């Protein structure tokens, strides 16, 4: 007897026949459609157990079929097939209710496992398919990556975007945490509301409480008028608190109350103000260690870490580097190519500054490349130890310019070297330098090392 019914919606005849033959050899009953319109008819009339949907088809595309299936509350489990592994495709597929998606060219063994998982999912948890809304018009950037870990990130974004669950984005500096926050907001029901961003490490402690919660007139010296804080500014939208690990203990307490009760109190007032926000936070710090050391409240940590999304450093997903390079080249708006040797140099480098450093290196190469071709001569890389160490003394200003210029040059070199050696981990870099993290942030801004 047939194992289950699978719909193959694929406009490429060769691919459609190949999938049909392979699936039938595994005992599946196979329905085929070469257009989105035909696939829609089969989904309605035959109600297959699983549907394999190509993203791009004549008539209705795969995402349109997903939307229609969700509107009709179809029980067919959808798997999307796409040659485009970018974040927008992945997020849209998951947001519109796809069980999963597979990249072309199709690995049939992997596809077979996905179909088996889809059938199990259908049997045990039909009601748990992701509930997401239509794509908002705004996009603020594409997250690029075809590695397994980045595909998992895309799926998580698609799954959490529709809810108001609190998300903690983790990863080293430069890994793209802000892009993840943008994707969550602009693929959520709050997309038409404000996205308010606050870097908790860049605002002095004495001002941060007022920045977040606002103040009443006369609350402190020079408080000449009421000020609405970022929590109220974000009402109806998303509040993003970056570098959340840098909050002081008193602010952690106030934040905990705001997260638990969704109310805040302005400085100088005892009245509670309700706030309707979705909270997303990010940190490059190890919060578990901070909790153990008594520097971060454990109860607040659990409130923020409801859904963690981890962005790995670029050195751990080198297979994504070529796609990132091509993405940055396209954004340059010029017809430019890169030689295999230059691409190899970029792929083999450790990238302590992660994606941000790669972006800067590519943009520099685009500017200096000749005849529209980037070669290895156009690539400038910084080995973590030798380049910084060799520059340390050469960066010093001549003696005649004075003491302050020399000290500033040496200070900048020390901060830069510590950041490189620590792989972008600011807490570790500050510890190596023997200074507080906040002073490190101040020096990074002063010397434009972000």
Q: Are 246 and 440 in contact (CB under 8 A)?
A: no
Is 343's pLDDT higher than 70?
yes
pLDDT band at residue 88 using 50, 70 and 90 as cut-offs: confident
pLDDT band at residue 396 using 50, 70 and 90 as cut-offs: very low
Is 281's pLDDT higher than 50?
yes
Is 122's pLDDT higher than 50?
yes
Does residue 296 lie in a domain region? yes
- Owning domain of residue 211: 148-311
Does residue 15 lie in a domain region? yes
- Of 378, 397, 416, the residue at which a domain comes to its end is 378
Place of tokens 């996905």: 114
Kindly give the pairing relationship between strand 278-283 and strand 29-33.
unpaired
Same domain, residue pair 278 and 358: no
Averaged pLDDT score across all residues of the chain: 83
Does residue 136 lie in a domain region? no
Q: What is the pLDDT of residues 129-181, one digit of tens each?
A: 332 232 333 344 578 887 888 888 888 898 898 889 999 999 988 899 999 99
Is 199's pLDDT higher than 70?
yes
- Of 330, 361, 378, the residue at which a domain comes to its end is 378
Q: What is the pLDDT of residues 398-448, one digit of tens each?
A: 555 566 666 777 788 888 888 877 777 787 788 788 787 778 888 888 877
The domain that holds 60 is classified in CATH as: 3.40.50.2300
Could you tell me which residues come within 8 angstroms of residue 12 by beta carbon, excluding any fewer than 6 positions away?
A: 54
Same domain, residue pair 9 and 43: yes
Does residue 133 lie in a domain region? no
Same domain, residue pair 307 and 319: no
Same domain, residue pair 201 and 260: yes
Does residue 267 lie in a domain region? yes
Is 269's pLDDT higher than 90?
no
pLDDT of residue 388: 42
The answer to pTM > 0.75 is no
pLDDT of residue 125: 42
Q: How large a percentage of the chain has pLDDT more than 90?
A: 30
pLDDT of residue 87: 60
Helix segments in 214-320, DSSP class H:
230-233, 249-261, 287-292, 298-304
Same domain, residue pair 174 and 263: yes
Q: What is the average per-residue pLDDT within 368-378?
A: 83
Same domain, residue pair 67 and 13: yes
Sheet containing strand 167-171, strands side by side? 195-199, 238-242, 278-283, 167-171, 307-311
Same domain, residue pair 120 and 47: yes
The length of the chain in residues reads 450
Q: What is the pLDDT of residues 206-253, one digit of tens each?
A: 789 889 998 888 877 777 788 888 999 999 999 999 999 989 999 999
pLDDT of residue 85: 58
Same domain, residue pair 124 and 162: no
pLDDT of residue 86: 59
Please give the torsion angle defined by the CA atoms of residues 426, 430, 433 and 438, in that order, rounded to the nearest 10 degrees.
120
Same domain, residue pair 280 and 323: no
Q: Could you give the CA distance from residue 153 to residue 143 in angstroms, rounded to a whole number?
A: 10
- Of 128, 163, 196, the residue at which a domain comes to its end is 128
Lowest mean pLDDT among 20-34, 39-53, 184-198, 406-420: 406-420
Q: Are 216 and 235 in contact (CB under 8 A)?
A: no
Q: Are 200 and 241 in contact (CB under 8 A)?
A: yes
pLDDT band at residue 121 using 50, 70 and 90 as cut-offs: low
Does residue 279 lie in a domain region? yes
Same domain, residue pair 32 and 81: yes
Same domain, residue pair 428 and 414: yes
Is 354's pLDDT higher than 60?
yes
- Structural domains in the chain (count): 4
pLDDT of residue 141: 57
Q: What is the DSSP annotation of 112-147?
A: HHHHHHHHHHHHH-GGGS----PPPS---------S
Does residue 169 lie in a domain region? yes
Q: How large a percentage of the chain has pLDDT more than 70?
A: 87
Same domain, residue pair 370 and 400: no
Q: What is the average per-residue pLDDT within 362-377?
A: 86
Does residue 142 lie in a domain region? no
């Amino acid at each position: 007897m047939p194992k289950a019914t699978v719909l193959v919606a694929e406009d490429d005849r060769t691919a459609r026949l190949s999938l049909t033959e392979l699936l039938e050899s595994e005992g599946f009953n196979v329905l085929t459609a070469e257009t989105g319109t035909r696939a829609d008819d089969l989904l309605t009339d035959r109600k297959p157990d699983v549907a394999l949907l190509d993203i791009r088809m004549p008539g209705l595309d795969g995402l349109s079929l997903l939307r229609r299936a969700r509107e009709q509350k179809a029980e067919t489990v959808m798997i999307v097939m796409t040659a485009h592994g970018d974040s927008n495709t992945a997020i849209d597929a998951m947001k519109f209710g796809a069980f999963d998606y597979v990249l072309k060219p199709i690995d049939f063994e992997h596809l077979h496992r996905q179909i088996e998982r889809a059938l199990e999912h259908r049997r045990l948890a039909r009601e748990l398919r992701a509930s997401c809304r239509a794509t908002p018009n705004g996009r603020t950037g594409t997250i690029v990556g075809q590695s397994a870990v980045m595909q998992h990130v895309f799926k998580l974004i698609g799954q959490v975007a529709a809810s108001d669950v609190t998300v903690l984005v983790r990863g080293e500096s430069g890994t793209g945490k802000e892009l993840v926050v943008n994707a969550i907001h602009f693929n959520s029901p709050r997309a038409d509301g404000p996205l308010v961003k606050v870097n908790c490490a860049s605002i002095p402690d004495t001002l941060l409480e007022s920045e977040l919660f606002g103040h009443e007139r006369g609350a402190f010296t020079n408080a000449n008028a009421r000020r609405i804080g970022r929590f109220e500014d974000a009402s109806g939208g998303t509040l993003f608190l970056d570098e959340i690990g840098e909050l002081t203990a008193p602010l952690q307490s106030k934040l905990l109350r705001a997260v638990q009760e969704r109310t805040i109190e302005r400085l100088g007032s005892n009245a509670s103000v309700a706030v309707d926000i979705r909270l997303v936070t990010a940190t490059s710090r190890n919060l578990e260690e901070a909790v153990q050391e008594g520097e971060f409240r454990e109860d607040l940590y659990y409130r923020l870490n409801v859904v963690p999304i981890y962005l790995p450093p670029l050195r751990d997903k080198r297979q994504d580097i070529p796609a990132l390079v091509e993405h940055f080249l396209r954004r340059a708006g010029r017809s430019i190519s890169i030689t295999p040797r230059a691409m190899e140099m970029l792929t083999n480098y450790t990238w302590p500054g992660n994606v941000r450093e790669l972006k800067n290196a590519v943009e520099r190469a685009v500017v200096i490349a000749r005849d529209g071709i980037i070669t290895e001569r156009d690539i400038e890389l910084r080995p973590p130890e030798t380049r910084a160490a060799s520059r340390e003394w050469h960066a010093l200003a001549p003696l005649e310019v004075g003491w302050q210029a020399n000290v500033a040059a040496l200070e900048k070199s020390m901060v830069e070297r510590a950041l490189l050696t620590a792989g972008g981990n600011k807490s570790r870099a500050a510890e190596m330098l023997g200074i507080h993290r906040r002073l490190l942030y101040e020096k990074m801004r002063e010397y434009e090392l972000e």
